[in-house]
């Protein structure tokens, strides 16, 4: 390294090494700032999303899509609310959608990056083409400010590609196509008015390309759902609640759902729901109806999109319903009794007949079924109508429960690979490494939704009701 015969002392060697290290750090910092500058958009600046780290996500394949063409991708983490799993890190778990066996799993050592603790991943999303997995996490708890993160994972290698920093902890992530058919990803946070919803473009380096502020919305918000036609997003309101519910004078404490246009990201209308805690939205395959779950009064509501009117409501059959899911015929709502706003230890499903909700006596549920899925929050419909299954993620029994909608019973219990907590997921159909999300929190998508429309005698090509 040096001319022959010249020897450097230890102090000189250390000094040179220090200069090289500092120079390297300077170059690394400059490179990171350059990468962040190229990634940052005006939308990212407006909505408070920053690119904190980038990684080299290339490498060998972590699993084989030819052996596992249909997979269920879900999150795995520590748990929360006093029911902890023992897992310390946020991660991803992949199950074969047909054999139900674990295909692959990966945890991400964020503690080694200097995090003080890990917030439970309360959801997971996959881009429409199956290339990217999105894991919401962060430090602190539900209302911690300035420490939220979104991990963006290369689905092929299961390596981190990016880490975004948020003003609040992220919640659910959903793949969707907008009104013009462009594939996008929606990222929402908890209803604490810290981090607004933002939209990512998975085909353009996962840059922020849309969203809205709480000021533009006119209130705090919670969950967001995209209509099957891609024209609008239903944003569940999260207004300030009275400390004591005046049940005699105002039993429902109405909530507003805001409709957002996917071309402009602007408010285009509102819907009044008779519950202070509107949570989930499920859409019928014909685009005509939307259904809402109310966590406070334990009801489900039926909304006519064509006439912009709530036409019926029914008891959910469970305490504190969270996710509500339609079967393949759109005749039954499966309401998952999480115990939201209540005991938060739900273990049952409620069944509601959608065709009878606006008929005399139709405000009563059909049945309640025990699943043993502790604190199940929501499910994902299996994309094969012959299977006719709802895969329910169980935060506190640390498993995925497979519920057969024909037999109306649990037919399998899939333990998480590391015994961790899990929230939601997506079914992805792969042909080689070309993927398609066919079912996630927005319901059936793509070819699976087209199949459902075909089975219901509807045109495969969707037409908006509004």
CATH of the domain at 174: 2.130.10.10
Is pLDDT above 70 for 5? no
Q: Kindly give, in sequence order, each residue whose CB lies less than 8 Å from that of residue 280, ignoring residues fewer than 6 positions away.
A: 223, 225, 292, 293, 321, 322, 323, 324, 378
Residue 241's pLDDT is what? 54
Is pLDDT above 50 for 26? no
* pLDDT tens readout for residues 229-270: 999 999 998 765 554 454 445 545 789 999 999 999 999 999
Token digits of residue 312: 């019926």
Task: Report the candidate in 110, 112, 186 with the shortest Cα–Cα distance to residue 148.
Answer: 110
CA 264 to CA 362: how far, in whole Å? 38
Residue 190's pLDDT is what? 85
Is pLDDT above 50 for 23? no
Residue 282 falls inside a structural domain: yes
Residue 8's pLDDT is what? 37
Residue 242's pLDDT is what? 52
Q: What's the domain count of the chain? A: 1
Residue 281 falls inside a structural domain: yes
DSSP-derived 3-state class of residue 13: helix
CA 106 to CA 270: how far, in whole Å? 41
Residue 5 falls inside a structural domain: no
Q: Which residue bears the tokens 């469970």?
A: 318
Residue 7 falls inside a structural domain: no
Residue 36's pLDDT is what? 77
Residue 463 falls inside a structural domain: no
Residue 143's pLDDT is what? 85
Residue 216 falls inside a structural domain: yes
pLDDT band at 376 (very low <50, low <70, confident <90, very high): very high
Is pLDDT above 80 for 35? no
Residue 57 falls inside a structural domain: yes
Is pLDDT above 90 for 318? yes
CA 35 to CA 130: how far, in whole Å? 24
Residue 83 falls inside a structural domain: yes
Which domain does 291 fall in, by range? 23-241+251-455
* Percentage of the chain modeled with pLDDT above 90: 82
Task: Lay out the sheet containing 332-337: strands in order across.
Answer: 321-326, 332-337, 348-353, 367-370
Mean pLDDT value across residues 148-172: 97
CA 265 to CA 216: how far, in whole Å? 10
| Burial of 84 (C-beta count, 10 Å sphere; 0-12/13-18/19+) | middle
């Amino acid at each position: 390294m040096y001319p022959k015969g010249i020897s450097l002392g230890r102090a000189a060697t250390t000094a040179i090494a220090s200069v090289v290290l500092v120079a390297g750090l300077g170059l690394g910092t400059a490179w990171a700032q350059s990468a962040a500058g190229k990634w940052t958009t005006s939308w990212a600046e407006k909505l408070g999303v920053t690119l904190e780290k980038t990684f080299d996500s290339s490498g060998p394949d972590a699993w084989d899509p030819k052996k596992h063409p249909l997979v269920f991708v879900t999150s795995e983490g520590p748990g929360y609310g006093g029911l902890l799993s023992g897992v310390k890190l946020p991660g991803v778990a992949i199950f074969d959608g047909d054999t139900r066996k674990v295909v692959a799993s990966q945890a991400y050592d964020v503690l080694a990056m200097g995090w003080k603790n890990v917030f439970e991943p309360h959801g997971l999303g996959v881009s429409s083409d199956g290339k990217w997995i999105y894991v919401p996490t962060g430090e602190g708890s539900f209302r911690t400010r300035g420490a939220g993160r979104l991990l963006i994972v290369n689905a092929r290698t299961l390596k981190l590609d990016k880490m975004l920093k948020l003003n609040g902890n992220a919640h659910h992530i959903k793949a969707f196509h907008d009104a013009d058919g462009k594939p996008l990803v929606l990222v929402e946070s908890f209803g604490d008015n810290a981090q607004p919803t933002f939209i990512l473009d998975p085909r353009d380096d996962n840059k922020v390309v849309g969203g809205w502020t709480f000021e533009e919305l006119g209130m705090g918000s919670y969950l967001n759902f995209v209509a099957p036609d891609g024209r609008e997003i239903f944003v569940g309101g999260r207004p300030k609640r009275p400390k004591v519910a005046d049940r005699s004078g105002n039993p429902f404490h109405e909530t507003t759902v805001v409709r957002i246009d996917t071309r402009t990201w602007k408010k285009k209308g509102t819907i009044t729901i008779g519950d202070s805690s509107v949570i989930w939205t499920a859409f019928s395959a014909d685009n005509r109806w939307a259904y809402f779950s109310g966590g406070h009064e334990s009801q489900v509501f039926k909304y006519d999109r064509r006439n912009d009117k709530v036409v019926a409501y029914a008891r959910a059959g469970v305490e504190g319903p969270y996710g509500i899911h339609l079967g393949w015929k759109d005749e039954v709502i499966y309401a998952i009794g999480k115990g939201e706003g209540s005991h938060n230890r739900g273990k049952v499903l409620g069944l509601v007949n959608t065709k009878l909700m606006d008929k005399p006596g139709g405000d009563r549920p059909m049945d309640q079924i025990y699943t043993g899925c502790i604190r199940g929050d929501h499910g994902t419909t299996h994309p094969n109508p012959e299977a006719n299954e709802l895969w329910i993620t169980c935060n506190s029994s640390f498993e995925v429960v497979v519920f057969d909608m024909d037999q109306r019973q649990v037919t399998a219990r899939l333990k998480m690979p590391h015994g961790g907590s899990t929230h939601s997921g997506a079914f992805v159909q792969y042909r080689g490494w070309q993927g398609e999300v066919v079912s996630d929190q927005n319901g059936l998508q793509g070819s699976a939704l087209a199949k459902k429309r075909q089975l219901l005698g509807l045109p495969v090509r969707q037409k908006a009701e509004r």
